[in-house]
Structure formats: C-alpha cells, structure tokens
C-alpha cells in the first residue's frame, strides 16, 4: 500500500514537470525557473505556477476589453498628430533611415509627436512640487495613476489637494495598482471617494490571484491635468521618493513633465487603463484639447505591457548604437537577447557604461543583477555602483536618442508589466540626460574585474540561485 502511494506521488510529480515543460516550451528560461521552484516545493510550487504563470493572452476577459472603439479613436488621434508636424520641423534626427528610426516610425502603438516641451526632474522634491502646482491649477480634470501610493506625508498632500479640487467641481480620477499599493488603507480611499474623487484599483490582489493575473502589474506613473500637461517617469507617491526613508537615504530618480502632442498619448494611456478597470469609454474632445505648446521637440510615447512589449525597442536601442550606450537602472536583469546585444556592442568598440545601485531594495534582484556583471566586465563593459543613496532612475542613452520612463532593465518590465516610457529626439533633452548620467557617474564607484572576481563564494552561490529565478521577478 505504501508503495502505491509512493508511485502515485511520483506520477503526480512527473505530470507536474511535464505540464510546465509543455506549457513553457517557448520560454525555456521561465521553464527552468519554475522547475526549480517545483523541485524545492513540490505541491506548493505547482499551485503557485497555476495561479500566477498564466499567459496574458489566455485571459478571455482581458481580450474582450480590446474594444474596436479605441482602435478607431486611436487612428483619428494619430492622423490629428501627423497634421501638426510641419515639413520644416522634421529634423534630421527623426528622418534617419537606420533600423532603429525605421522601427520607431513604424511602431504600431503610438507615433512620433511634435510641438513638445520637456522638463526633466532629477529629484523627487522638484517633480512633486511641479505635479502639485499643476494639479492646484486644474480647471476641468485631473488624472492620476501610480504603481505605489502611500498614506504618508506626501500621500496626504496629494490627498488633500485632490479632495479640494474635487470639491471645486474638477473631475478627479485616480488609478492605483492593486499589488504595488496593497498597503494603501481603505480610509485613505474613502476620504477621496466621499469628496467626489473617482478611484479604480488595477487588478485587486485577491481577485487577481483567483483569476490568475496577479503577475501582471501596472507600473505606470501618470499625471495629466486638463489634457494639457502630463507627467511620467520613475517616481511613485511616497516619502521614500523624497529621500526620507533611512534605509535608502537620498533617492535619485528621473521624471518628466511635458506639454505638446505627447500629452495626448499620456492621456490616451491613462484612459485606456481606466476603461480596463472601470469599463468607461472616455473619448470626449475636452480630454484631448488642441495643444497650445509652441515647442519644437519630437517625443514618442511608448506604451507597453504583456500584450505590447518594450523589449524590441530596448534591443534596437542597444544594437543600433555606434559610439555610446549609457544605462541607468535600479534592476539589471537582461534576457538572453539583451545580454547578447550588450556583449556585441562592447566587442564592437562602443562605450558601454551601466550604473546600478550600491544599496539594494530587493536583495534577490540585486544578486541576480550582480550575476550578469562579471561576464559583461570580461567583455569590456564598465559597471558602476551609485554611492550617494538609492538609484531608481531608468534611462538608456543610445548615441543621440534617449529612452526613459517607468520601465526597468529587467524581464518583468520587458514583458510582464504595464509600463510607460518616452523616446526623446531633441538634442537639449539628450544633453541634459547625459549631464545627469555623468553627475551620477561621479558619485559612483566603478566595479573592477580583478576585485569583483574575489567576492565571497557564498555571494556567488546567491547570484547563481537568483539568476536562475530571475525570469520570474
């Protein structure tokens, strides 16, 4: 009898292994990670896989939300933006005919927009003050979407201002991610709702778990005021983003405010997310006003998620570089294609420099990041650890183009999270981002290969284990 139980358990285990291999045969890295979890936790591991590893396209409810109305509206918006691009405004940068520019011009999601003005914020205090000032001046609507919202001092400032604007008759809509803002109390939301603020939770954790979509998180950070000014970047709403968390100290981030046609697409991103959560179609022209900006910057908003990944763009930025490739990221977990592209860039003689934090906020991700350092150092890349505090900035500079926003240089951001980035073509914006990069470089310590190879064996073991599980981060 005991032998039969052993045989049954063994058969069940084999079936679980076979299921993962069959379902993940297209994603071998994830298959290996899940098999490791299954071997470590035989029953629990498969249950975890069942609830969190389901492909995004398998969700019928999500597929139904791909409304034709949005596609028609997007086509009209694209046509409208193209009408605003005068022939004499088209700069040589946008018209280059290399593979990267061809990709950017032919991306199916959002086109290159003109008539933009961009302001860059390298610190949270400046960015938040600009957001709060813009919100205070709102006359018609305020749209806010963040991965993390905290009920702390900074969160209270936003809360009180949003309540005041709602009481003044301004339409206020707030979206937050169910997982990232899981600690946000009901009292905070109730105070907003009682004042007339509409709120929405992107995939509430419990419902998302049983609907097998817990693994898909909305990592975007958006503020749109009256459809005329938009904010995006790496900051969430919380005191730590002001450098007030003793565990991290100074918080280095990159955030942007924009005026011009790019704002229309930040707005479009928010309202499609609002539709996904609330099933409300909002396409009235008052939310997409004619932009008053007389700027001459070209900007492309890049909306990505499990159904429209940013991976192709990141890969193209790397392989198209001819002279320089500068990367800042809090999490460095490249997939095999990105890793090969970086090695190829280094071997080709391109100046590849990567800044990562010296102080980790997630140790397993930190060890996974370090596992990629040695082989890239051996290839000739240069790595630096930021020393002043925590580096949360997400920037890629490839020759005379830059990409920045909410997406990290990791597999989750590439394929599993809803992100919002911007590609910048304007020389002044690029120059400012390069200046910020070299300022961060001066506050960083370079990782030298001979010293790095001497790290303790226990750390190397942690790196190996973290790297094996990295496709699931």
pLDDT at 341 over 90: yes
**How high is the pLDDT of residue 149?**
97
**How high is the pLDDT of residue 60?**
46
pLDDT band at 216 (very low <50, low <70, confident <90, very high): confident
Q: Which of 199-208, 267-276, 328-337 has the lowest mean pLDDT?
A: 199-208
Q: Which of 96-100, 172-176, 194-198, 241-245 has the lowest mean pLDDT?
A: 96-100
**How high is the pLDDT of residue 58?**
43
Neighbours of 103 (CB within 10 A): 15
Over range 193-213, report the average pLDDT. Answer: 78
pLDDT at 183 over 70: yes
Give kind and range of the element (H or E) at residue 198: strand 198-202
pLDDT band at 261 (very low <50, low <70, confident <90, very high): very high
- Name residues whose C-beta falls within 8 Å of residue 339's C-beta, 6 or more positions apart in sequence: 372, 375, 376
The third-level CATH classification (topology) of the domain covering 77-96+110-299 is Endonuclease; Chain A (3.30.870)
Integer Cα distance of 191 and 176 in angstroms: 15
Over range 398-419, report the average pLDDT. Answer: 90
**How high is the pLDDT of residue 89?**
54
Greater model confidence, 446 or 371 = 446
Tokens of 130: 């600009």
Angle between helices 363-379 and 457-469 (to 10 degrees): 100
Greater model confidence, 442 or 359 = 442
Hey, which residues are catalytic here?
219, 221, 226, 392, 394, 399
Contact (CB, 8 A) for 93 and 400: yes
Question: What would you measure as the largest C-alpha separation in the chain, in angstroms?
Answer: 84
Over range 309-333, report the average pLDDT. Answer: 93
- Nearest Cα to 251, choosing from 413, 440, 418? 440
Q: Which of 31-35, 61-65, 228-232, 358-362 has the lowest mean pLDDT?
A: 61-65
Over range 410-422, report the average pLDDT. Answer: 87
Contact (CB, 8 A) for 225 and 138: yes
Q: In this predicted model, what pLDDT tens digit does every residue of 44-73 receive, in sequence order? A: 666 666 566 555 554 444 445 456 777 778
Contact (CB, 8 A) for 412 and 56: no
Give kind and range of the element (H or E) at residue 461: helix 457-469
H-state helical runs in 279-334: 311-319
Q: Report the phi/psi class of residue 54: left, alpha or beta, with left for phi > 0 and alpha for psi in -120 to 50.
A: beta
Greater model confidence, 363 or 143 = 143
Q: Report the phi/psi class of residue 184: left, alpha or beta, with left for phi > 0 and alpha for psi in -120 to 50.
A: beta
Neighbours of 319 (CB within 10 A): 19
pLDDT band at 82 (very low <50, low <70, confident <90, very high): confident
Contact (CB, 8 A) for 148 and 237: yes
Q: Label residue 444 exposed, middle or buried (CB < 10 Å: 0-12, 13-18, 19+).
A: buried
pLDDT band at 228 (very low <50, low <70, confident <90, very high): very high
Greater model confidence, 269 or 52 = 269
Length, in residues, of the chain: 473
**How high is the pLDDT of residue 22?**
61
Annotated domain spans of the chain: 2-53, 77-96+110-299, 311-472
Q: In this predicted model, what pLDDT tens digit does every residue of 301-315 receive, in sequence order? A: 999 888 777 888 999
**How high is the pLDDT of residue 402?**
97
Sign of the CA dihedral running 69, 71, 75, 80: positive
**How high is the pLDDT of residue 66?**
54
Integer Cα distance of 124 and 237 in angstroms: 9
The third-level CATH classification (topology) of the domain covering 311-472 is Endonuclease; Chain A (3.30.870)
Same topology, domains 77-96+110-299 and 311-472? Answer is yes
Over range 148-157, report the average pLDDT. Answer: 96
């Amino acid at each position: 009898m005991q032998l039969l139980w052993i045989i049954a358990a063994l058969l069940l285990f084999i079936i679980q292994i076979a299921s993962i291999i069959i379902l993940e045969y297209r994603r071998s890295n994830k298959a290996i990670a899940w098999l490791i979890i299954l071997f470590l936790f035989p029953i629990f591991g498969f249950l975890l896989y069942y609830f969190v590893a389901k492909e995004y396209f398998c969700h019928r409810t999500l597929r139904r939300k791909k409304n034709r109305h949005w596609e028609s509206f997007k086509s009209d918006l694209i046509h409208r933006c193209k009408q605003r691009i005068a022939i004499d405004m088209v700069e040589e940068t946008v018209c280059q005919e290399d593979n990267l520019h061809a990709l950017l011009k032919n991306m199916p999601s959002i086109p290159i927009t003109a008539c933009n003005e961009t302001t860059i914020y390298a610190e949270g205090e400046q960015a938040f003050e600009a957001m709060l000032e813009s919100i205070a001046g709102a006359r018609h609507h305020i749209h806010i979407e963040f991965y993390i919202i905290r009920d702390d001092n900074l969160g209270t400032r936003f809360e009180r201002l949003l309540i005041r604007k709602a009481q003044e008759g301004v339409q206020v809509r707030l979206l937050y991610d169910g997982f990232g803002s899981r600690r946000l109390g009901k009292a905070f939301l109730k105070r907003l709702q009682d004042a007339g603020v509409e709120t929405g939770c992107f995939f509430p954790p419990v419902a998302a778990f049983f609907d097998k979509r817990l693994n898909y998180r909305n990592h975007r950070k958006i503020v749109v005021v009256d459809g005329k000014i938009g904010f995006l970047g790496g900051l969430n709403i919380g005191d730590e983003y002001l450098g007030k968390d003793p565990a991290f100290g100074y918080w280095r981030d990159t955030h942007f405010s924009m005026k011009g046609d790019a704002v229309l697409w930040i707005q479009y991103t928010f309202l499609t997310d609002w539709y996904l959560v609330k099933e409300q179609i909002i396409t009235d022209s008052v939310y997409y006003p004619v932009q008053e900006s007389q700027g001459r910057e070209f900007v492309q908003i890049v909306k990505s998620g499990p159904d429209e990944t940013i991976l192709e763009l990141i890969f193209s930025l790397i392989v198209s570089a001819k002279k320089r490739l500068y990367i800042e990221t809090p999490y460095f977990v490249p997939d095999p294609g990105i890793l090969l592209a970086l090695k190829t860039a280094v071997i080709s003689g391109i100046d590849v420099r990567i800044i990562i934090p010296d102080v980790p906020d997630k140790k397993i991700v930190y060890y996974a990041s370090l596992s990629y350092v040695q082989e890239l150092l051996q290839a000739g890349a240069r790595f630096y650890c930021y020393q002043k505090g925590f580096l949360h900035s997400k920037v890629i500079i490839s020759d005379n183009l830059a990409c920045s926003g909410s997406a990290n240089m990791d597999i989750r951001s590439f394929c599993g999270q809803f992100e919002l980035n911007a590609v910048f073509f304007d020389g002044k914006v690029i120059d400012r981002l390069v200046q910020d990069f070299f300022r961060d470089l001066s506050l960083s310590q370079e990782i030298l290969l001979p010293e790095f190879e001497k790290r303790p064996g226990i750390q190397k073991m942690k790196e190996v284990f973290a790297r094996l599980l990295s496709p699931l981060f």
